[in-house]
Amino acid sequence: MNCANCGTPLPDNAKFCLTCGRPVTAATGAPAAPAAAAAPQKVNCPGCGAPLVPVFGEMVITCDYCGGVVALGGGGWKEINKHTMLTPKIVDAKGALAVVQQFLDVGMFHRHAFEESTIAEQNLSFVPFWVIPASASTSYLYQDLAVGIGGTVASIAGAELLGAALGGGRRGGFLPIPVMTGPPVNPTRNETLQGTYEYPVVAVKGMTDYQPKSYEFPMKERTFFDKKSIPAGAPILNGDLGEDAAQHAAKSYVGQLQSDLAHKKHHMVSQIQSQVEVSEGELVHVPIWYILLDRKGQKSMLLVDSHASRVIPTFVPS
Q: Which residues bind Zn ion (CB under 5 A)?
A: 3, 5-6, 8, 17, 19-20, 45, 47-48, 50, 63, 65-66, 68
Considering the complex, what minimum distance in angstroms separates the CB of residue 6 from Zn ion?
3
Considering the complex, what minimum distance in angstroms separates the CB of residue 64 from Zn ion?
8
Considering the complex, what minimum distance in angstroms separates the CB of residue 9 from Zn ion?
10
Closest among 17, 279, 224 to 5, alpha carbons compared = 17
Contact residues for 197 (Cβ-Cβ < 8 A; gap 6+): 132, 133, 134, 135, 136, 216, 250, 254, 257
* Residues 241-253: b if buried by 16+ CB within 10 A, e if exposed: bbbebbbebbbeb
Considering the complex, what minimum distance in angstroms separates the CB of residue 45 from Zn ion?
3
- CB of 227 or CB of 310, closer to Zn ion: 227
Considering the complex, what minimum distance in angstroms separates the CB of residue 24 from Zn ion?
9
Q: Is 173 exposed, middle or buried (0-12, 13-18, 19+ CB in 10 A)?
A: exposed
- Three-state secondary-structure class, residue 183: coil
Closest among 189, 196, 234, 207 to 88, alpha carbons compared = 234
Q: Are 235 and 126 in contact (CB under 8 A)?
A: yes
What 8-state DSSP symbol labels residue 210? G
Interatomic CA distance for residues 222 and 110, integer angstroms: 32
- CB of 8 or CB of 211, closer to Zn ion: 8
- CB of 5 or CB of 25, closer to Zn ion: 5
- CB of 50 or CB of 157, closer to Zn ion: 50
- CB of 16 or CB of 140, closer to Zn ion: 16
- CB of 63 or CB of 203, closer to Zn ion: 63
Considering the complex, what minimum distance in angstroms separates the CB of residue 4 from Zn ion?
8
Interatomic CA distance for residues 247 and 215, integer angstroms: 16
- Widest Cα–Cα separation across the chain: 105
- CB of 213 or CB of 227, closer to Zn ion: 227
Please, which residues bridge with residue 192 across strands? 139
Considering the complex, what minimum distance in angstroms separates the CB of residue 50 from Zn ion?
5
- CB of 41 or CB of 190, closer to Zn ion: 41
Q: List Cα–Cα distances, 121 to 97, 185, 235, 301, in angstroms.
A: 11, 60, 15, 9
Q: Are 249 and 114 in contact (CB under 8 A)?
A: no
- Three-state secondary-structure class, residue 318: coil
Considering the complex, what minimum distance in angstroms separates the CB of residue 82 from Zn ion?
13
Side-chain half-sphere exposure of 292, counting CA atoms within 13 A: 7
